[in-house]
Chains A and B, each alone.
Chain A
Amino acid sequence: MPKEFSVIWFQGAACSGCAVSVLNSLSPTIKNVLLDELVPGKHINLLFMPVVMAASGKSAIDVIIDAEKNKSGEYILIVEGSIPKNDFGDVAEKSMEDSVEELSKNASAIISLGTCSAFGGIPKGKPNPTKSKSVQEFLNSKNIKIPIINIPGCPPHPDWFVGTVANILLFGIPQLDELSRPKLFYGKLIHENCERRPYFDKGKFAKKFSDEGCLFELGCKGPYTNADCPIRSWNSGVNWCIQNGSPCIGCVEPEFPDLEAMYKKTHWSEEK
């Protein structure tokens, strides 16, 4: 029998984009991740995941109640989405704050999946109408100390998630940077590996969309965004933002989406 690693995947103030992105994992496939042994002898047992699980209502929520009561230290908690203030989000007539608090206390480790969960992300965008917090901020406010791994990205690349989980199964918690992100995936700037970097160095800048050239003057956040998109590429290596002529919007960064306007246009000189 393989060793079982139980996982509970909780959705807070989320759009399900992180879940859908993880479904896009190429190798291993999502079937390998969920049904097979992700690494030999070790199997992910996805107890609760609202988008895919067969159960509804009480039989679904009983899984969570059982984990909170009986499975202390026996599961990894994945949180997708930020944690809104009490009034704004309920699951099974329980606030998201209360659910995450109780599930966190008993978790062996927490993966904050996606920028909303890791840093607050879109719901926390100015003026933060639901007083949303990242999981780390929320747990700090409750004085709960459980190891957290942040896997930001709006959405995160499936490899960043699956690679982190495999790291836990094979070697334990991966090396993290000061924002609790795995260094392996977030260790370099987009700009350092960008295929359009030679344009930047030569001073050849796109002036409007679909122009050839570096996208910096159209608003590209690559020079201050930490992720390996240029070498990893997206959707099984088909494409990625800058290759598609689209400026990086800095979706993995703590300041997203409040960094600055996502797009700029040079001939609007009055733009800040």
Chain B
Amino acid sequence: MTKIVIDPVTRIEGHLKIEAIVNGGIVKEANSSGTLFRGLEIILKNRDPRDASQITQRICGVCPICHATASALALDSAFGIADKITDNGRIIRNLILGANFIQSHILHFYHLAALDFVKSPDVPPFIPRYEGDYRLSELENSELTQHYIKALEIRRKAHEMLAIFGGKMPHNVGIISGGVTEKPTVDKITNFLWRLNELRGFIDNVYIPDVIFVAKKYSDYFQIGKGCGNYLAYGVFDLEGSEKNYLSRKRLLRSGITSTDLTYKTVDSSKITEDVKYSWYDDSQTHKYPLDEETIPKKDKKDGYSWLKSPRYEGNVCEVGPLARILVNYISGDETTKKLVDSVLSEFNAKPEVLFSVLGRHAARAIESKLVADNMSNWVLQLNPDEPVFTDYQMPEEAEGMGLTEGPRGALGHWIKVKNKKIENYQCIVPTTWNASPMDDKEQPGPIEQAIIGTKIKDENNPFEIVRIIRSFDPCLACAVHLVDLRGNIIGKYRTL
């Protein structure tokens, strides 16, 4: 029996440690541990509620826009204007978030994940590295490395496109409660459109073909890293703004929950609980609805091994992210998604079941990039320079709000409670907390842990299988360790919209 410890897990966002117990070449146990705590929710307390869109973006410099979006939605609902955001405001928010999705997905595949499959030149930062299971020829490695470099330029351009409406990136300044800060003009619209066209060209002609190419060389990874088999999505990219309940809104990527049997269920956010048996928090507060719990940190707890809690839906472990979203869209009858997924599957003569895997997650990310980018080219032309982008409001003395949306890495929720025009409580439940969560009270391991357990490790000194599985989830630890309330304050009760 050997213990493999990977600490730090690099080429992700943030500080993650993975431990795996291997016996007879098979992983028997796996522990995923978040190793940094910053306490942003405590910092948010007593501030002006509108600071939330700026402060929460600093949760993560890779995916700040989803936090800006979730906080704006939460504030909109707290201020009573959830259904009054103008079309321009809604569309510009979508364009800023969409640009971040594309940037994040391209960055993830080429700069975070690809070095596990592609052997790049023997210079830092490409060395040191695990040695062994690289399957591409010298020429193919060289070509993919060229794409790595091209993708650096492309992801930069995605940020430039984002800044047309977002002002700057990382940490955009365009998205605020009430809409966005600046009107669209025709030059911005055209500028955006043509930058988007270049990105779409890259997605169609380089990114998707590269994912398929790598998948063909490493096709055993369609069978590796399956995970928990439950998939949860809140949905994202509002196609209309009149419905106050965000989960009932018409969205490009729909809300829903499914499992490996591919049946569709609607999401009810009141079914979310968080366990802390194996987290560094006091056991008295375990298995509660997130907003009913009191959080008491306990770093010296005997069984604790992570700063992450364990969110569960109806007590079940759920994976969130592009794979969950693409599956939900696929089974709920979105024609474009179905066509894209089927066309990728036909490359492998495979059924949708192969998507529950390392390669399935990469494929879903690439498919989603295309789906979002193609739709953005329609949205940008729906902007009207003569219409307003901002809806005015009065700051209420007391209010509550909830913002449910998706980040590149999965389902994201922000909750706010306002009192005396200040933040009394702020709570975020972020994608990586779902995916990288430790075991729950019923001893069910989290999605990444489950995906690692049972995996055959060919070479314990170069555990490619483990890092390929972890990175397929695109973990973002800076995001994941922020839902905790160090001071043990009672979190208020929130209305579920």
Contact = CB atoms under 8 A, between A and B. Distances in A.
Interface of A: 11, 13-21, 23-26, 29-31, 34-35, 45-47, 49-63, 84, 87-93, 96, 122-123, 125-130, 132, 154-155, 208-210, 234-236, 238-241, 243-246, 249, 251, 257, 261-263, 265, 268
Interface string B103-126: 000010001100100001001111
Contacts, number: 251
A125 B171 CA distance: 17
A209 B467 CA distance: 46
A202 to B, nearest CB: 21
B365 interface: no
Interface string B168-200: 111101101011111100000000000000000
Given A24-B159, A46-B124, A127-B42, A60 B8 contact: yes
Given A63-B128, A262-B48, A89 B58 contact: no
Contacts of A58: 5
Given A54-B127, A91-B35, A129-B43, 14 more contacts: A11-B15, A21-B61, A35-B123, A51-B10, A54-B128, A55-B10, A58-B5, A92-B8, A96-B36, A126-B46, A132-B38, A235-B163, A245-B183, A262-B54
B39 A129 contact: yes
Contacts of B169: 24, 234-235
Contacts of B149: 31, 35
B447 interface: no
Contacts of B43: 122-123, 125-129, 257
A89 B481 CA distance: 11
A30 B6 contact: no
Contacts of B487: 129
A18 B58 CA distance: 11
Tell me the interface secondary structure of chain A in the complex.
loop
A57 B55 contact: no
Contacts of B311: none
A155 B125 contact: no
13 contacts: A24-B159, A35-B123, A46-B125, A51-B13, A56-B10, A56-B11, A57-B9, A60-B8, A125-B43, A210-B388, A257-B55, A261-B50, A265-B395
Contacts of B120: 54
B261 interface: no
B390 A210 contact: yes
Contacts of A53: 10-11, 124-125
B272 interface: no
B166 interface: yes
B478 A15 contact: yes
A25 B394 CA distance: 40
B38 A55 contact: no
Nearest to A57: B6
B121 to A, nearest CB: 8
Interface residues of B, number: 83
A31 B148 CA distance: 10
A265 B394 CA distance: 10
Interface string B12-36: 1111010000000000000000011
Interface stretch (B150-158, B215-223, B400-408): B150-158
Contact of B64 (A17, A130, A244): A17
Among B8, B160, B174, B388, max chain A CB count under 10 A is at B8
B51 A209 contact: no
Given A16-B61, A235-B162, A236-B160, A90 B36 contact: yes
Contact of B167 (A52, A132, A240): A240
Contacts of A123: 38-39, 43
Contact of A91 (B5, B8, B62, B478): B8
B6 A56 contact: yes
B389 interface: yes
Contacts of B17: 90, 92-93
Contacts of B47: 261
Contact of A23 (B127, B155, B394): B155
